[in-house]
Structures are given as structure tokens and as C-alpha cells.
Chain A
């Protein structure tokens, strides 16, 4: 399954073995937990079991169709993550680089604002604020 939701950490190099074989271009993007200058110790990521898996799969298939990707992969984690840990990754493979880059950007824009995940900040004192969605993330969708 090219779209995966999991609590466990994953290894980028292992996941990419054999990915996009035969393509001319492979693009990967990884999102990490930011420390926000020491303010945070981690993030808690909530999701909607059932809907989240379906959303990842459908955005992946849509990206493959629109950008003629020969291969794609989405891995997104949930649960408690420490600063510096990898939250998620997307990989796209295509004949040429423009499609691979665009496919990856399309996926990231959709995952940010339309995949049912909610991030909460964790500080030294425990669970803190829910991360607010940014208008710029919503605006980014309009270009597709």
C-alpha cells in the first residue's frame, strides 16, 4: 500500500528501496517536529481512524493521475512525537523532474489542510495548545 498511517518511526532510506524504479526523477519530502526555539518538547498528532487512511489514498491517486506519476508513497505518523522526529514523508516518481516536484507539492498542500490530522504542542509542562491552521496553507490549495 503506497499510503500508510502508523505510530512507529520509519527509516527513509529503507522505505525508498526500489521506489520509482525506471523513473527519471524521484522527489522526496520529509516533515519534522520543530522545537520552536526550545519552547516545545514534541507534538501529539490526533487523527480520524478510517477517514485518514482513505484521504491519504485518494490524494495519492489524484496526484498520480494529474502529474502522471509512475510511483508515489505517503507515510504519516500519529501519536506522540519528540522534537526532531520525522512526522511524515511523501515521495513521487516521474519521467521528468517537473512532474515529480509538482506532484510532491500538490500532495503536501492537500495533506496540510485536507487530511484529518490535528497537531497539539507538547511543552515541558505537558500538553499545550492545539496548532492552528494557517490561512497561507488554505490559500496554497487554490493554485491546484
Chain B
């Protein structure tokens, strides 16, 4: 399947772009992270400390074990600082 992967804040800066389209067979978010981290050093660095990374699948907050079946948009970002 083909999904859109989005990055925000320092993850976006470390990876070098705000979004990319990825062809993947990943079953869970964690599988996708492994695939992305293997792409190059920038992805590996941004995704090296998963405790500092939050994830949303189709704009809903979730966790690394969430399934990707049917998902169109996955976003990775640091803990939020709103308010």
C-alpha cells in the first residue's frame, strides 16, 4: 500500500522534509518506523529515541502497536506543547 507520512517540529527538521509518500507492507506503526529508519541516516536519527516520538494514524493519536490496515496518513512528532 501507499501512505503519506508526515513529520512535525524537530522530526521534520531532522528528516529534512514535511511529508513523503511511502510504499510499504508494514502491518503496524512499529514496522513502518523500522522501514523508515533503514532508509537513511536522517530518518534513523529522527526515529532513534521512540520515547520522544508521538504518532497519529489518520489524524488520531495512537501508539506504535497500532495496525496500519486501511490507513492513509501517518504522522510522527514530538510530545505536544499547546496551550
Contacts and interface: CB of A to CB of B under 8 A. Distances in A.
Interface string A75-116: 010000000000110000000000000000000100111111
Interface bin, chain A? 20 to 34
Contacts, number: 64
A88 B79 CA distance: 19
Contact of B59 (A48, A76, A87, A120): A48
A21 to B, nearest CB: 27
Contact of A108 (B56, B77, B78, B83): B83
Contact of B78 (A76, A88, A115, A130): A130
A118 B77 contact: yes
A87 B83 CA distance: 7
A48 B8 contact: yes
Contacts of B82: 76, 88, 111-117
Interface string B41-68: 0000000000000001001010000000
A130 B9 contact: yes
B10 A116 contact: no
Interface of A: 31, 46, 48, 50-51, 54, 76, 87-88, 108, 111-120, 130-133, 138
Interface of B: 6, 8-10, 56, 59, 61, 75, 77-83
